[in-house]
Each structure stands twice: as C-alpha cells, then as structure tokens.
Amino acid sequence: MNPKKPLSDASWLGEELQALRAEQPSPESIERTVLLMQAPPPTVNRPRANWKLRAATLAAAAALLVVLVSVGDQRANASTLRQIAEVFRAHRTRHQKTYRPDANGRLALRNEGWQDGDKQSTRFYEPDGTCQITGYDGHVMFNVTLGKGGFVDDGAPSGIPVEDIDTYITIPGAHLLSRALGRQVDGRSVDLYTIGFSDVKFTLFVDPKSQLPVRRDVLTLHGVLIERNEYDYPSLIPAATFRLPAHEKSRVCDYPALRARLQRQLLQGGETKEVAGVRITLRAVLVGSTKVMALWTGGAPVDGSDSKGGLRILGDGQFLMDSAPEPFSVPSEVPRRNSRAPLFVGKERLFGQQAWYAEPVDWRTPFTIDMPVWEEDRSRPIVSADGRKLGYHSKQVGRLQFVVSHVIRADDPERVLWRPSNDVVETGTTR
C-alpha cells in the first residue's frame, strides 16, 4: 500500500466497507485486519505528516474489528436461538399459561394449554367467567363452552392451540436486541434473550441446563407488558386432559354420528315425485340453528340467478319462510370412510339447496317443503374460455311439495356434509 495514496482509493478497504455494509466479512478480511493491527509501522518513504493517515487507518481497522466481533456474536446468538427452538420443538410434552393485563392492569389468566405429541387441549377463560375448551385425543376433536354445549368430530384440528414460541424466535425479520446469561429471576437462574420484531419485543427466559423456555414477556417497544407466557414440561399428562369432559357429552353435537345417519338416509331414499317429466327424490332435510338444507337426486343443479327459485317452508298451512335461491354443491372434501355419501347416491348426482333465517323458526314436524325443480336447458350451453362445452345451464320447470316427517338436526348442517378445510381430514371423492 502506498501511504501517499488517498485512503479511499485502497481497493482492499473498499472491499471491507462493502463487507461491512452487508455484515458478511470474509475470513480473508478478518485476517487482513488483524495483520494490519499487528504490523510494525512502515519506515520507507513515510513523510512525517503521514502519522495522521496511519492513525486513521488503524482507527478504521479497529472499527472493522469491533463490527466483526459484533457480527460474530450475532451469529453465535442466532445459533443459540435456533438450538433453543429445536429443543423446544423436540420436547413431546408441554404446559403453557397465558396471562394478559385486565382493565385494572393486573395479570389475568386467559388461556391454558397442554400438548403431548399430536394430542392437545386448550382452555380459554373469558372475563365474564365463560370457559371454552378445545381438544384432540388423537382420534376425536371437540370444542365446547362449559354449560352451553359444542361439538365433537373425528378429524384432527389444524394448528396447535398451545402457541409455539419456536416460530417466534426463528421468524424472518426478528433480531436479537440483548442477551444476559445467568440472571436470577424469581429465585432461579435463567438466560435472558430480548428479541425485537416489528413494533413489539419479547424477552425469553431460558433454563440454562435444559435450554427450554420457562417464560416469555411480550412488550411494546416502550416496555409496556402485553402478554406473559409461562411454560413447564411435565413428564406425564393425564389422558383425560385431551378428552371431552363427561358432563358435557349430553350437550354436544356429534357430527360423526350425524354423518352416519345421513349416509343411511341417503341410501334409503325418500318420496319421489314428478313434474314436467322430471323425477325428483327428496333424500334428506337438515335443520340447523340458522339454516335449513334440502338434498335430492334428479333434475339439474339450481340456478341461483332465478329469483323465483327459492325454498318455501310451510307449517300448519302457513309460510314459515320463503327464501331466495341459494344453491350449493357438495364438495369432494368428505371423509373417505363415508364412501357412499354425499356427491352421488349410487349413480345419481346429489343436489342441494339451503335457506338462511335470522328469526327462530318452529321446526315441529311434519312440515311441508316447497322446492323448485330444474332440468338442463339444451339451448344454453356452458362454454369455457377456450371454447370447450362444459355442460348446460338449468331452467326451472315447476315446483314440488314434499311432506317432511323426519329431519336431521345439527348446529351446523354444512359440517354434516363436509368438514371445514382447517380441520385437516383425509379427503377423497365419493364417486
């Protein structure tokens, strides 16, 4: 290096500055900086005034070394956090309590969760004293509000109610703000990691021996506590923790049992009537808390654009409801074990129509359902963008009335037909 040459023209220093900006110094950069710090001062052709240049060079090298050490610390800390996340993720059993400040600023227990492998259970505590419980024992999932009922189903829920902090400590964009090892908190030694993300930060309290988190405080950037999580890791969690409480069984909607009942009813069939040469067999009627659904075979799909194509329900000779047309198609996301229900009954396609209601309806049986009848309109083909014929639009050819003596009652009729997509069940077509 020529000491008379401007410092900014030194090519190797430009490389160092680029590395600094990227915070990815190369091993060669580190070695060059260390050698520069250790090298004796040059004596050949060195003007007296160049001591300032040398001082500036040494200062820049020292700053670079500090940054290199800092970057090294950051990488070491990131590695430690990844290890904590892996240990946490690998631990089979865990128990968590979540606290949040109430209106008076006091910490109140909001939810409590347990996990044992795939099994999980969470209790949510509301300020009004209501307690909601969700759980999955490896076979059956449930969701109930104590004293008010709920449902059971045979699909595993997606996600884990117990919050996984391993996601938070490895999330892209999170960065370590500080680390303090071997601090005494509540009578125990812990390692503290403060991590920033977006407009919040959280402090992780980690047991130095097990490398498992024991607490997490979520705070605003100004230090106001938003939430506190406490963790422990029991060696054994009772199996009953993941099961529906026995005293709630009489209040729940049992969807697996309702699906089995629907399957039998679809196969048995029902009354068949004909209008304008179109034969319709009413297969089932499902009544829920906010809607009624009719299922039938024969004819064609409902045309939702026909304003006169809604369901009508009559009881004691009076209209109980008169709905706008709202067709639906039973999708393929149905349990593989219900191989003959829904979508097709034998070789006949299953059609459906539903009607919503906000006011309570007296669903005493028998009642009469007045439904539109549809057939394919061969003069109105459905054509794809590339010109392929996909089928035909439907046209209404009349209406039929059926007397309904038996209904399937469920809080959510749609769930009898298919599970919500977030329930992660094995699916397949029933054709």
Task: Determine the number of helices (DSSP H) and then strands (DSSP E) in the chain.
Answer: 6, 25
Question: Is residue 370 within 8 Å of residue 355, measured between CB atoms?
Answer: no
Rounded Cα distance, 355 and 398, in Å: 19
Query: In the structure encoding, which two tokens stand for residue 401, read together?
Result: 């009335």
* Cα Dmax for the chain: 115
The tokens describing 140, both together, are: 């059956």
Its pTM stands at: 0.66
* Residue 267 structure tokens: 């196969």
pLDDT for the residue 328: 57
Q: Which two tokens stand for residue 376?
A: 């394919």
- Distance from C-alpha of 72 to C-alpha of 175, rounded to nearest angstrom: 14
Q: Which residue ranges make up each domain of the chain?
A: 7-88, 93-244, 253-428
CB atoms closer than 10 angstroms to residue 11: 8
Give the mean pLDDT per block of 10 residues along the chain (431 residues).
Answer: 40 44 45 41 44 47 39 58 84 92 91 91 91 90 90 69 59 80 93 86 92 92 90 94 89 90 87 95 91 90 77 72 59 39 71 80 84 91 90 91 92 79 32 25
- Separation in Å, CA 203 to CA 98, 165, 190, 193, 215: 15, 11, 11, 5, 8
- Sequence-distant (6+) residues with CB within 8 A of 264 are none
Per the CB < 8 A criterion, the answer to whether 263 and 340 are in contact is yes
Residue type, 136: Y
Inter-residue contact 408 to 288 (CB < 8 Å): no
Q: Which residues contact 271 (CB under 8 A, 6 or more apart)?
A: 281, 282, 402, 403
* Residue spans of beta strands (DSSP E) within 323-366: 327-328, 334-335, 344-345, 348-356
Query: Distance between CA atoms of 7 and 134, rounded to whole angstroms?
Result: 67
The Cα-based distances of 190 to 17, 211, 213, 219 in angstroms read 38, 10, 9, 19
- Tell me the three state secondary structure of residue 235: coil
pLDDT at 334: 42
Count how many Cα atoms sit within 13 Å of the Cα of residue 165 in the half-sphere of its side chain. Answer: 29
Strand partners, 195: 176, 202
DSSP letter (8 states) at residue 252: E
Residue 210: the pLDDT is 93
> What pLDDT is stored for residue 321 in this prediction?
63
State the DSSP H helix or E strand holding residue 274, giving kind and residue range, or none if neither.
strand 272-275
How long is the chain?
A: 431
Dump the DSSP string for 8-40: GG-HHHHHHHHHHHHT---HHHHHHHHHHHHSP
pLDDT of res. 40: 45
Domain 93-244 has CATH 2.60.40.1080: no
Q: By C-alpha distance, which of 195, 228, 190 is closest to 208?
A: 190
So what's the pLDDT on residue 211?
Answer: 92
Phi then psi dihedrals of residue 88, to 5 deg: -60, -45
What was the pLDDT predicted at 81?
79
Q: DSSP state, 422?
A: G
Choose which CATH entry (2.60.40, 1.10.3470, 3.30.70, 1.10.10) describes domain 253-428: 2.60.40
What is the model's pLDDT at position 167? Answer: 67
Q: Would you state the structure tokens that stand for residue 274, as one six-digit string?
A: 């004909």
One-letter amino acid at 45 equals: N
